[in-house]
Amino acid sequence: MKITIIGTGYVGLVTGACLAEIGNDVFCLDVDQRKIDILNSGGVPIHEPGLQEIIARTRAHGRITFSTDVKASVEHGEVQFIAVGTPPDEDGSADLQYVLEAARNIGRYMNGFKVIVDKSTVPVGTAERVGAAVAAELQARGMAGSASQQFSVVSNPEFLKEGAAVEDFMRPDRIVLGSDDDEMGRLAREKMKRLYAPFNRNHERMLYMDVRSAEFTKYAANAMLATRISFMNEMSNLADRVGADIEAVRRGIGSDPRIGYHFLYAGVGYGGSCFPKDVQALVRTAGENGQRLRILEAVEDVNHEQKEVIVRKIEHTLGHDLAGRTFAIWGLAFKPNTDDMREAPSRRVIAALLSRGATVRAYDPVSLDEARRVFALDLADAPDALARLSFATTQEETLAGADALVILTEWKEFKSPDFLHMKSVLKAPVIFDGRNLYEPETMAELGIDYYAIGRPHVQIDTTNHTAAHERA
């Protein structure tokens, strides 16, 4: 099939590459010439495991094209995926300007029946606004109602995890499709069913529903996952107070099949492009419809506060005035296997340390370039603080002479470091672990002062080398 992808961000680029991989003829459009130049030169503007190899392979076979030519993109695809950004507006609602501009462009240039797919995460009712925008352009062309200018807007939300997006797309657990129950809607459903047929060979993964329910499903899914994270973070803070170990608690409740282990880890809060803005957008949608989502309001509040928990542990141990202190930071991206810095907890934690006079040396396996750009913007009004932030090219570089190590992203390479070497180069063997990578007892046996989230701080008895539990 001939497919057009509008937008080459995470969702658009993964969708386009994977659909080209299974044999479709894919045209990827973006108005950002820089992105298109990178893609046409063999690069990829985002870090996503496996993506660059698929793009190189499909380009070599002529199955994927990258361009800024809007007219050509509309003429190309019988199916038009809208996969542009929907950033949060000032009031927390999703900003649909890019979605609606894409819709208008389709209306300006369409030359036959089009299936218009809302792939971006959009509020309930967006498909109707997209359809109205397309119809308005057809009306302006004097072609409204023409049999050759018919279209149907469907909702096909994405459920991709950054860092595992290619795998998620190629082996989906479900494919949600919302369509109208009229002649055009049924035709669109059949085209989408044919497009996704290669993913349904083992068993049927398609879930058909009305458009509004499909739009709502995406928000509800992300809100549930965010709720699990904030729930565990709130439990971890209570565990600190009452003397429980949140890891033992996690195993205890996660073994219940009704609960399970997914998204049940305590830490420094969630970030990224999805959970923060989707929770805000759903709360905003509820407000517009005369309802409060009190649980999700609390989820958002807990997540905001959780990003300061590790800072409070540092203050409790080393004092509020951190002038003259140096901190090694491991992990900047909001999660492993991505360079995405959007809403990353590291931004709040590092800014807090710098505001207290500290010096910070930071490392991340893939997000250093993006981190330099982001922190230059975050600290533009604080040049003195920015001057105290530096970036290392290896995790070991961050450690020499540092007063403590702070872990903010659970990259695999951080899970088994050389602790004896770490002790020898740190000014003091202190770790503040925002991702609970290590065992407190093991750290105590190694002579490392270890502070985690909702886990016991094991005080080292330097007299007889035994360890006694003491809450942080």
**424: Cβ–Cβ under 8 A, 6 or more apart, which residues?**
none
In this structure, are residues 191 and 78 in contact, taking their beta carbons and an 8 Å threshold?
Answer: yes
Selected catalytic residue, list 64, 94, 274, 444: 274
Q: Which 8-state DSSP code applies to residue 412?
A: G
CB 451 within 8 A of CB 317: yes
263-289: burial string, b at 16+ Cβ within 10 Å, e else: ebbbbbbbbbbbbbbbbbbbbbbeeee
Residue 47: which of 16, 76, 14, 77 has the closest Cα? 14
Q: What sign does the CA torsion over 230, 235, 238, 244 have?
A: negative
Q: Catalytic: 18?
A: no
Nearest of 376, 266, 249 to residue 310 by alpha carbon? 266
What does 55-72 look like in DSSP terms, one character per residue? HHHHHHTT-EEEE--HHH
CA distances 180 to 131, 187, 459, Å, are 12, 10, 63
Report how far apart, in Å, the C-alpha atoms of 336 and of each of 43, 390, 408 are.
Answer: 21, 21, 10
CA distance to 151, 217, 422, 430, per residue, from 406 (Å)? 53, 37, 13, 9
Q: Which of 364, 361, 307 is nearest to 341 (CA)?
A: 364
Cα–Cα distances (Å) from 290 to 281, 285, 406, in that order, read 14, 9, 43
* Helix residue ranges, H only, 90-210: 97-109, 126-140, 165-170, 183-195
Helix locations, 110-254, DSSP H: 126-140, 165-170, 183-195, 211-242, 246-254
- Catalytic residue numbers read 274
